[in-house]
Chain A
């Protein structure tokens, strides 16, 4: 550092020496080193995948929020436009009716029993009430599967409203023979029905009530008349439904147009039920109203019969009318989707299969049910596709009674400690799928085939959407702490309650891999998050599983 010039020269020599070494030095390659690098790359890929998953799922969430928001608005509007009172009263009416029906059914059951002791197939229930129910349910079922609901109701003897009454009647029931009980029960129930059903009564034609009330009968006879009526209906086969439904339709045609109301009508079972109930209701009302005056049952039966037969004649027209009207809103979005065709985008069919783990809440998964279905998938572009379809689903779950929404008028003498549910339903999903990662062909090993493979490579996707459930059958078994308790009246309920629009949120993620030009398979774990309660008891049902599916590109 002291002598500059010397330094310069010395430095230059030193620098040159090291520079040369640096340029010439080249450590040999060790294959092992690549392993470290490869692991690092894998790690990076994973990280980026998750980054993309996050982004993708955010996008999908946003979409879903948008979708459900717009659906909500749409629904709100829909509700407001037609026949407001009917619409608004509808939801309660449904439940109310169900509650009501039970009673009438029970009544009828009892009645039937008394009237026709040789009622078909008495279930082996130890409870006195139980056999009655079962018999009725059986009978009703035979005419109309949907009406099986009534079993439940019938099980539950006493409604909430007139607690005192019910209790009295119950105690009566318990103590006295069944046949004797019938009377108090009926009256009480009818009263109850009246109280809880103002709205329903409105659409169930009041004139008819009047008509009926015009034909007075003795209370007991009325009962029997009812029983007879039901049996008559049964005899006529499917008329029961038409009878009820036409009544409803007569009353308010607009209702059919309304979206949510239709749920019940559309599926038929729901609609019929209220109708049927209301019919019964009216009769019971009549009974209550003019409990003093009574006429012969024959006169009553006559008109009813006539009515029903008339309705039967009309019956065929209605369903055809109603169904298209109802299905319109649903087909709307789908049509929209397919009407969006950017050609060269593809349509494909997908067959899916999956176990189904369902639960109310997040634990207590029971043994797995199953899903299988057919989906139609439309690809809009590079990353986005939409799918609609039908999945037949069997869900088995168990839950504590608190998770169920019991109809308000049910009263337990013995509370169940658990409820096992087993439901078959159709799951109508509308999903949007986003392919967030396309994995190019594995290495460069198949360069010749690359072009093909690149068009349908392996890919990762996330998917989200909404599901509508259509109940096909529901079966609930109540578990009691002491099954031998003699006060237990109901042990199970089965039936079906129709359609639940947009009841679950579908979220899934999966991996798809091409097999050939047209075929590809994929694995898609999913979760269906409840948005609202489904089924008779309005349980918030969470389902999960993994779809294994095969896609065929059309």
Chain B
């Protein structure tokens, strides 16, 4: 286990350094370049924060493609509204907020299109990744993605991004009560999925 963890850490370090190595200028410089609409700076910024932004977008969507859509829309906002960014604040926080907002916007737009009821949990797909080691982060994210949109958003906002129910209610145009119940059901679903996953693993292991 500790070796595993070490390995993971090293891998992460490696990716981080790799993402930074290609002539990675300091962030302020990159931002200045982006402000001048220089494509190269934009690319470097995008590359540098792709992973982080993608991890946010993945949680809020049900597939990688959809996440990429949100990500790119979000980055477009980043590039066009960069002058609004207060450099005193951490860039990641700003970026994260933009990504979340973009995801919520997209969700609202999609709801308007496909009058899907917010509360009904079109239930999580039962197919489960069969490769089980220990639940890797990605798999957990995958579980979140399997939640129905209404549950997924509330869960993300409340549990991971730290919004309270009032904020969520106003953001999603739902009542505080339904925010709370959605959260509870999200957890329930996740727990069930986890349970199923481990059961399957167990079943396979014992087979």
A interface residues, Cβ below 8 angstroms from B: 1, 10-11, 14-15, 17-29, 31, 33-34, 36-38, 40-41, 44-45, 440-441, 443-445
Contact = CB atoms under 8 A, between A and B. Distances in A.
Which 10 interchain pairs have the tightest Cβ spacing? A26-B51, A21-B140, A21-B137, A25-B137, A443-B40, A27-B54, A15-B159, A29-B50, A22-B160, A25-B55
Given A18-B159, A22-B160, A25-B137, A36 B68 contact: yes
Contact of B43 (A25, A28, A38): A38
B138 interface: yes
B39 A440 contact: no
A29 B38 contact: no
Contacts of B43: 34, 38
Report whether over half of chain B's contact residues are helix, strand or loop; otherwise say mixed.
helix
Contacts of A21: 136-138, 140-141
B80 interface: yes
30 contacts: A10-B191, A14-B187, A14-B191, A15-B159, A18-B155, A18-B159, A19-B159, A19-B160, A22-B55, A22-B137, A22-B141, A22-B144, A23-B55, A25-B137, A26-B15, A27-B51, A29-B50, A33-B68, A34-B43, A36-B68, A36-B72, A37-B76, A40-B72, A41-B42, A41-B76, A41-B79, A44-B76, A440-B36, A440-B37, A444-B40
Contacts of B80: 44
Interface in B154-207: 155, 159-160, 184, 187-188, 190-191, 194
A27 B47 CA distance: 11
B54 A26 contact: yes
Contact of B40 (A27, A29, A45, A445): A445
Contact of A1 (B38, B137, B143, B184): B184
Nearest to B141: A25
A445 B190 CA distance: 49
A11 B187 contact: yes
B58 interface: yes
Given A24-B137, A28-B15, A37 B54 contact: no
A258 B188 CA distance: 93
Name the residue in A23, A24, A31, A440 with the highest tally of chain B Cβ atoms < 10 Å from its Cβ.
Answer: A24
A70 B37 CA distance: 40
Contacts of A38: 39, 43
Name the residue in A36, A41, A445 with the highest tally of chain B Cβ atoms < 10 Å from its Cβ.
Answer: A41
Nearest to A445: B40
B51 A18 contact: no
Interface string B46-80: 11001110111011000000001000100110011
B102 interface: no
A266 B128 CA distance: 92
B41 interface: yes
A1 B180 CA distance: 12
B108 interface: no
Interface residues of B, number: 44
Contacts of A15: 159, 187
A477 B200 CA distance: 93
Contacts of A40: 72, 76
Name the residue in B33, B155, B160 with the highest tally of chain A Cβ atoms < 10 Å from its Cβ.
Answer: B160
Contacts of A45: 37
A19 B140 CA distance: 10
A33 B15 CA distance: 17
Contacts of B190: 14, 18
B46 A37 contact: yes
Given A25-B137, A36-B72, 12 more contacts: A10-B191, A18-B155, A18-B159, A22-B144, A25-B138, A26-B12, A34-B46, A41-B76, A44-B80, A444-B33, A444-B40, A444-B41
Contacts of A44: 76, 79-80
Nearest to A25: B137
Interface string B10-52: 0010010001000000000000010011111111001100111
Given A17-B140, A444-B33, A444-B40, A29 B47 contact: yes
Given A27-B55, A33-B68, A37-B72, A18 B140 contact: yes
A444 B194 CA distance: 49
